[in-house]
A and B are shown apart, each in its own frame.
Chain A
Amino acid sequence: MEPNLKIMRKINRLNSSQPSDQSGFSLIEVMISMGVLTVGLLAFLSVLCVAVSANQTSQQDMIARQLASETMESIFNARNTSQIGFSEINNTTATPPGIFLANSQPILCAGADGILDTADDASCTTAAGAPCPNSGVECLTEPGPDGIMGTADDVILSLSNYTRTVLITPLVSGGSTIPTLVQVTITINYNAPQPRSYVLEEYISEYH
Chain B
Amino acid sequence: MQRRSNPIRGFSLLELMIAASVGVFLVGTAVKLYSIGLTMSWQTSQKAQLQQDFRAAANLLERDLSMAGSGALGQQGLSNGSVGLPTGNGSTIPVYPCTALTTCNYIKSAPVAYPDSPTGAPSLYSIMPGPSLGITVTAAAGPTDIITVNYADAGLPLNCYTGTVNAAATAVTFILPSNWSQTCVTPPNIVPPALPPSLIYNSTGNTVGLQVGDMIMFGTNALGVVTGAASTCGVVAPNLACYQVPFATGDPGHVNQPGVATGSLLQYAGAAVPSAVRLISVTYYLAIPASTGLPTLMRIQNGQPPAPVAENVVYLKFTYDVINSSGTVTANQATLPAGTTPSMITKINIAHMSMRSQGRDTSSKSSLSGYGYESLDLQTSLAARSLTSQQQYPITVTN
List residues of chain A with CB under 8 Å of any chain B CB.
12, 15-16, 19-20, 22-25, 27, 30-31, 34, 37-38, 41, 44-45, 48, 51-52, 55-56, 58-59, 62, 66, 69-70, 73-74, 76-77, 80-83, 109-114, 127-128, 138, 140-151, 155, 157, 208
Contact for A66 among B137, B329, B331, B380, CB less than 8 A: B380
CB distance from B292 to the nearest CB of A (A): 14
A150 B140 Cβ-Cβ under 8 A: yes
Please, which residues of chain A bring their CB within 8 A of the CB of B379? 66, 70, 138, 140
B375 A142 Cβ-Cβ under 8 A: yes
Contact for A112 among B36, B140, B331, B389, CB less than 8 A: B331
- CB closest chain-A residue, reference B43: A52
Given A52-B40, A112-B330, A142-B375, also A77-B346 (CB < 8 A) = yes
Given A59-B376, A127-B352, also A150-B138 (CB < 8 A) = yes
A55 B331 Cβ-Cβ under 8 A: no
Contact for B388 among A31, A80, A144, CB less than 8 A: A80
Please, which residues of chain B bring their CB within 8 A of the CB of A114? 321, 329-332, 346-347
Given A15-B6, A24-B15, also A55-B359 (CB < 8 A) = no
Complex alpha-carbon distance, A146 and B36, angstroms: 20
Contact for A51 among B40, B314, B384, CB less than 8 A: B40
| 12 further contact pairs, Cβ within 8 A, besides A83-B327, A149-B141 | A30-B19, A51-B41, A55-B48, A80-B388, A80-B389, A81-B388, A138-B379, A144-B375, A147-B356, A149-B138, A149-B140, A151-B138
Given A113-B329, A127-B315, also A145-B321 (CB < 8 A) = no
Complex alpha-carbon distance, A99 and B375, angstroms: 36
- CB closest chain-A residue, reference B141: A150
* 9-residue interface stretch from B22-30, B183-191, B235-243: B22-30
Please, which residues of chain B bring their CB within 8 A of the CB of A22? 7-8
Given A41-B29, A127-B315, A149-B137, also A19-B388 (CB < 8 A) = no
Residues of B in contact (CB 8 Å), total 68
CB distance from A190 to the nearest CB of B (A): 15
Q: Which residue of A12, A69, A143 has the most chain B CB atoms within 10 A of its CB atom?
A: A143
List 13 interface pairs A-B (beta carbons < 8 Å), by A numbering: A41-B29, A55-B51, A56-B47, A58-B51, A62-B51, A66-B378, A69-B380, A112-B330, A149-B354, A150-B139, A150-B141, A151-B138, A208-B389
Tell me if B372 counts as interface (CB < 8 A to partner A). yes
Complex alpha-carbon distance, A48 and B41, angstroms: 8
- CB closest chain-B residue, reference A114: B331
A19 B7 Cβ-Cβ under 8 A: yes
Complex alpha-carbon distance, A74 and B385, angstroms: 11
Please, which residues of chain B bring their CB within 8 A of the CB of A82? 327, 393-394
A77 B388 Cβ-Cβ under 8 A: yes
Complex alpha-carbon distance, A56 and B44, angstroms: 9
Please, which residues of chain A bring their CB within 8 A of the CB of B37? 44-45, 48
Please, which residues of chain A bring their CB within 8 A of the CB of B393? 81-83
Tell me if B382 counts as interface (CB < 8 A to partner A). yes
Please, which residues of chain A bring their CB within 8 A of the CB of B6? 12, 15-16, 19
Please, which residues of chain B bring their CB within 8 A of the CB of A147? 312, 314, 356-357, 359, 361, 372-373, 375
Complex alpha-carbon distance, A150 and B43, angstroms: 22
Tell me if B33 counts as interface (CB < 8 A to partner A). yes
CB distance from B8 to the nearest CB of A (A): 6
Encode contact with A along B25-61: 1 for CB under 8 Å, 0 otherwise.
Answer: 0100110010011001101100110010011000000
Tell me if B250 counts as interface (CB < 8 A to partner A). no
